[in-house]
Chains A and B, each alone.
Chain A
């Protein structure tokens, strides 16, 4: 059992909570747009954990990793939304369950 500052423990619990909320949303929602939003939320969990850990150690690596998470989120959103637009244009779908096969 190691002794850690309260803010760090609480931030880690919150980070897990954010991740879990995003995961819950991902599983719960059928709309593609909502699923992308849920993915974004999932990514914020680790981001918070990195930043909290960096703050605890006084290390810039934490924020550096945050920047990478940000980059990842941006890319994912860009691609996800492009796919969403494409699907909507092709078959006018917003339901991820109806997109079941990779070919049409």
Chain B
């Protein structure tokens, strides 16, 4: 039992609550704010788990860049009270079946964990070791990932460009 581990669990729990709130908010901006909260909580957890690089990237890229993109998009659309009301109406209906299915997924995944909790602390992993792994044995996978990012970029650009006037 380590204090770092306990802190990580606490931070993860906060993230879970924040995420649960995020998916149930009718207002998209509120939802985004809760997502940011959840992501930051997770980043804190990562730091506690000794994964400093992961925590930093979580803050910078996830909570920073990706959410910023969301915000840009939200800014382009009309998110007036009527949109919020519509979302609220949709939320009221049709939540029972998804909930049941989620419980069905959760139950085996949680109770099926065939492990007992014992003492033990997380082992910190330095960014140096991570870098050595990524650009050592995993170099090909990293290149493939970067290719995927380029493809996504080109695709997004293609989809989002304005149509020329016919």
A and B touch in the complex (CB under 8 A): yes
Residues of A at under 8 Å CB distance from B? 1-14, 16-18, 20-25, 27-31, 33-34, 36-38, 40-41, 44, 47-48, 51-52, 54-64, 66-68, 70-79, 81-86, 88-89, 94
Tell me which of A25, A40, A56 contacts B122 (CB under 8 A): A56
CB-CB < 8 A to A48: which residues of B? 12, 15, 42, 45
Q: Would you call the interface of chain B mostly helix, strand, loop, or mixed?
A: helix
User: Which of B39, B51, B76, B115 has a CB less than 8 Å from the CB of A54?
Assistant: B51
**Chain A interface helix/strand/loop/mixed:** helix
Q: Separation in Å of the B139 CB from the closest CB of chain A?
A: 11
Contacts known (A27-B101, A34-B87, A63-B51); A79 close to B152, Cβ less than 8 A? yes
| Number of inter-chain CB pairs below 8 Å | 254
B42 partner residues in chain A, CB cutoff 8 A: 44, 47-48
For the complex, give the distance between the alpha carbons of A47 and B38 in Å: 13
Within B57-116, the residues touching A (CB, 8 Å) are 57-58, 61-62, 65-66, 69-70, 73-74, 76-77, 83, 87, 90-91, 94-95, 97-99, 101-102, 105-106, 109-110, 113-116
Residue from A1, A2, A38, A75 whose CB has the most chain B CB atoms within 10 Å: A75
Shortest distance between the CB of B147 and any CB in chain A (Å): 10
B153 touches A37 (CB 8 A): no
6 residue pairs bridging A and B, Cβ less than 8 Å apart: A17-B110, A33-B74, A63-B53, A70-B57, A73-B62, A74-B149
